[in-house]
Amino acid sequence: MSLKTVKDIDLKNKRVLIRVDFNVPLKEGTITDDTRIKAALPTLKYILEQEGASLILMTHLGRPKGEKEPAYSLAPVAVRLGELLEKKVIMAPDCIGDEVEKLASGLKGGDVMMLENVRFYEGETKNDPDFAASLAKLGDVYVNDAFGTAHRAHASTEGVAHHLEAAAGFLIEKEVKFFAPLLENPARPFVAIIGGAKVSTKIAVLESLLPKCTTLVIGGGMAYTFLKAQGHEIGKSLLEEDFLDTARSLLKKAKEAGVELILPLDHVVASEFSDSAKAEQVDGADVPAGKIGMDVGPKTLEKIRDAVAAAKNVVWNGPLGVFEFDAFAKGTLEVAGYVAECSGTTVVGGGDSVAAVNKFNFADRIDHVSTGGGASLEFLEGKALPGIVALTQ
């Protein structure tokens, strides 16, 4: 995939309109986690180092649904960005319009302006051409560094790219650098670990990765539909009846392709789905009647450990158990450790697995921890992401 990046375009004396993903959690007007803002700093600082370049930032925050809701104003984000950049960030009164255009045209080299929430307008999510054109008027060149929204064809992620010279920021460049080879020609052994609650949300990922990987690990709640499809008892564990045939089909495909499929060989179960439930070990693939499978057991973990240790590529998406409950977090914690210790290239994507890696402090030992939950999932599904396609044309 040939991607034009911010280093490939001339930024001298240019107003750089950049789409970032500053959809940060706010509590009573205060940012509770500024990870996404910090992640964009390398791109922002690089642009500001170019002679005469100024920055105009656009992002969404929350879901205001096309209404101007003060609770979703980006004013607190502008303040935090100013602290991190150690310079004043001009807060625009809106994201389009005469007043904003006047402010944008008056920017000098080194100036930074934050536009108001692009989702205050319905035209953003509808990718309205007029709205995209109004945004494009503000800048001379366009940079997209919001991987988390690259799977959506919105005005600020896709539409603007049709009006201005467009390039990727360093965040998107890194995401593509790590994800694209997994789908194109991955070094083997290639181990894919796919977890999470439901088969229905991961079918496309399983279908996409199956022909490419040497070992496929299926864990989390979705594993029980596969175990049931194999004829095992699963007690009160999560089951998607409608997807039993899909599970059987994937099992058959794995066998035909010679892909090693690792499903839970043993379990940690409970009588109820609760963080206070007592954890019980089950030594075998069958779950006793009345019990719910909540995590994988030690035999399963041993098998996963051996597969990951020998891998040249590992991709992990989705937890292995109910990791938010401490009594059932061991499987996900152990797998995070195996991935961190692997000498091959390791990529973690998807909200919950990223949360697990951060919770257990393994992030700095993994080659790439994705910034986009839905976007990383769609990338692994082999889908073209509109926000990235717009940068390659």
The answer on pLDDT for 2 being more than 90 is no
Catalytic residue among 198, 248, 299, 365: 198
Tell me the CATH number at 59: 3.40.50.1260
Whether 319 maps to a domain, the answer reads yes
Does residue 291 contact residue 282 with C-beta atoms inside 8 Å?
A: yes
- Exposure of 363 by Cβ count < 10 A (0-12 exposed, 13-18 middle, 19+ buried)? middle
Beta bridge partners of 269: 280, 293
Same domain, 148 and 109: yes
The whole-chain average pLDDT of the chain stands at: 94
Same domain, 180 and 133: no
Residue 55: pLDDT band with limits 50, 70, 90: very high
- Exposure of 278 by Cβ count < 10 A (0-12 exposed, 13-18 middle, 19+ buried)? exposed
Residues in the chain: 393
Same domain, 55 and 32: yes
The answer on pLDDT for 393 being more than 70 is no
Catalytic residue among 36, 228, 236, 291: 36
Of 146, 168, 190, the position where a domain reaches its end is 168
Catalytic residue among 82, 109, 337, 374: 374
Q: What percent of the chain has pLDDT over 90?
A: 82
The answer on pLDDT for 1 being more than 70 is no
DSSP characters for 152-178?
Answer: S--IIIIIGGGTSEEEE-HHHHHHHHH
Same domain, 61 and 116: yes
Within the chain, strands assigned E span: 15-19, 26-27, 30-31, 54-58, 90-91, 112-114, 141-144, 165-168, 190-194, 215-218, 260-262, 267-270, 280-282, 292-296, 313-317, 345-348, 368-369
Of 168, 193, 225, the position where a domain reaches its end is 168
Closest Cα partner for 147 from 270, 60, 21? 21
Please tell me the distance from the alpha carbon of residue 359 to that of residue 340, in angstroms, as a whole number.
Answer: 13
Per-residue model confidence (pLDDT) at position 374: 81
Tell me, what amino acid is at 125? T
Same domain, 118 and 212: no
Residue 88: pLDDT band with limits 50, 70, 90: very high
Residue 275: pLDDT band with limits 50, 70, 90: very high
What is the mean pLDDT of the segment spanning 280-290?
Answer: 97
Q: How many domains does the chain have?
A: 2
The answer on pLDDT for 351 being more than 80 is no
Strands 26-27 and 30-31: antiparallel
Q: Is 321 in the active site?
A: no
What is the mean pLDDT of the segment spanning 161-169?
Answer: 96
Q: What is the pLDDT of residues 190-233, one digit of tens each?
A: 999 999 998 898 999 999 999 999 999 999 999 999 999 999 99
pTM of the model: 0.88
Per-residue model confidence (pLDDT) at position 33: 85
Whether 391 maps to a domain, the answer reads no
Q: Is 102 in the active site?
A: no
Q: Is 374 in the active site?
A: yes
Per-residue model confidence (pLDDT) at position 375: 87
Provide the residue range defining the domain that includes 106.
Answer: 6-168
Beta bridge partners of 387: none
The answer on pLDDT for 322 being more than 90 is yes
Same domain, 184 and 234: yes
Same domain, 59 and 156: yes
The answer on pLDDT for 158 being more than 80 is yes
Does residue 76 contact residue 30 with C-beta atoms inside 8 Å?
A: yes
Catalytic residue among 293, 351, 372, 387: 351
The answer on pLDDT for 298 being more than 90 is yes
Same domain, 240 and 343: yes
Q: Is 372 in the active site?
A: no
Per-residue model confidence (pLDDT) at position 113: 98
